[in-house]
Structure 1
Amino acid sequence: MIQEKPLILGLGGTPRHGSSSERALAISLKAAENEGARTLLLSGAELLLPMYMPGQQQSGQASRLVAALRECHGIIISSPAYHGSISGLIKNALDYAEELRADARAYLDGIPVGCIACAAGWQAVGQTLAALRTVAHSLRGWPTPLGAVLNTSSTLFDAEGNCTDAAIKRQLETVGQQVVDFVRMQSRGRAIAHSLSTDTTVHP
Structure 2
Amino acid sequence: MVDTPLIVGLGGTGTPNSSSEKLLRQALERCAARGAETLMFDGAALDIPMYAPSESARDEKTLALIAGLRRANGIIIASPGYHGTVSGLIKNALDYVQDMAEDEAVYFEGRAVGLIAAAAGWQATGTTLATLRSITHALRGWPTPMAVAVNSMVPIFGQDGTITDTGICNQLDILAQQVVTFARMRALHELSLQQADGEREADRAGAE
TM bucket (normalised to shorter chain) is: over 0.9
State the Cα deviation string for residues 19-57 of structure 1 (Å, max 9, x = none).
110111011101100110000111111111100112331
Question: What is the match of residue 127 of structure 2?
Answer: 127
- Take 1:23 and 1:157, find their aligned partners in 2: how far apart are those partners? 9
Which consecutive residues of structure 2, in runs of 5 or more, have no partner in the other structure? 204-208
- Take 1:66 and 1:132, find their aligned partners in 2: how far apart are those partners? 19
Question: What is the match of residue 10 of structure 1?
Answer: 9
Q: Work out whether residues 28 and 174 of structure 1, in 8 Å CA contact, stay in contact via their aligned partners in 2.
A: no
- Take 2:69 and 2:193, find their aligned partners in 1: how far apart are those partners? 26
Q: Work out whether residues 2 and 184 of structure 2, in 8 Å CA contact, stay in contact via their aligned partners in 1.
A: no
Which consecutive residues of structure 1, in runs of 5 or more, have no partner in the other structure? none
Question: What is the match of residue 38 of structure 1?
Answer: 37
The DSSP-based 3-state class of the residue aligned with 2:39 is: strand
Q: Which amino acid aligns with 1:172?
A: L
Q: Work out whether residues 126 and 149 of structure 2, in 8 Å CA contact, stay in contact via their aligned partners in 1.
A: yes
1:20 aligns with 2:19: yes
State the Cα deviation string for residues 51-89 of structure 1 (Å, max 9, x = none).
011233111111111111111111000001111111110
Alpha-carbon shift at residue 192 of structure 1 (Å): 3.4
Task: Output the TM-score relative to the length of structure 2.
Answer: 0.91
Distance 1:196 1:25, change over 3 A: same
CA-based RMSD: 1.4
Alpha-carbon shift at residue 189 of structure 1 (Å): 2.5
Q: Which amino acid aligns with 1:49?
A: I
Question: What is the match of residue 180 of structure 2?
Answer: 180
Q: How does 1:62-101 map to 2 (within 5 A)?
A: 62-101=62-101
- Take 2:138 and 2:183, find their aligned partners in 1: how far apart are those partners? 19
Q: Which segment drifts farther, 14-23 or 51-60?
A: 51-60
The DSSP-based 3-state class of the residue aligned with 1:46 is: coil
Alpha-carbon shift at residue 195 of structure 1 (Å): 4.2
Alpha-carbon shift at residue 103 of structure 1 (Å): 1.0
- Take 2:5 and 2:195, find their aligned partners in 1: how far apart are those partners? 21
Task: Output the TM-score relative to the length of structure 1.
Answer: 0.93
Q: How many pairs were matched up? A: 199
Percent identity between matched residues is 45
Alpha-carbon shift at residue 3 of structure 1 (Å): 4.2
Q: How does 1:39-54 map to 2 (within 5 A)?
A: 39-54=38-53
Q: Which amino acid aligns with 1:114?
A: G
Question: What is the match of residue 106 of structure 2?
Answer: 106
- Take 2:161 and 2:76, find their aligned partners in 1: how far apart are those partners? 18
- Take 2:35 and 2:128, find their aligned partners in 1: how far apart are those partners? 29
The DSSP-based 3-state class of the residue aligned with 1:150 is: strand
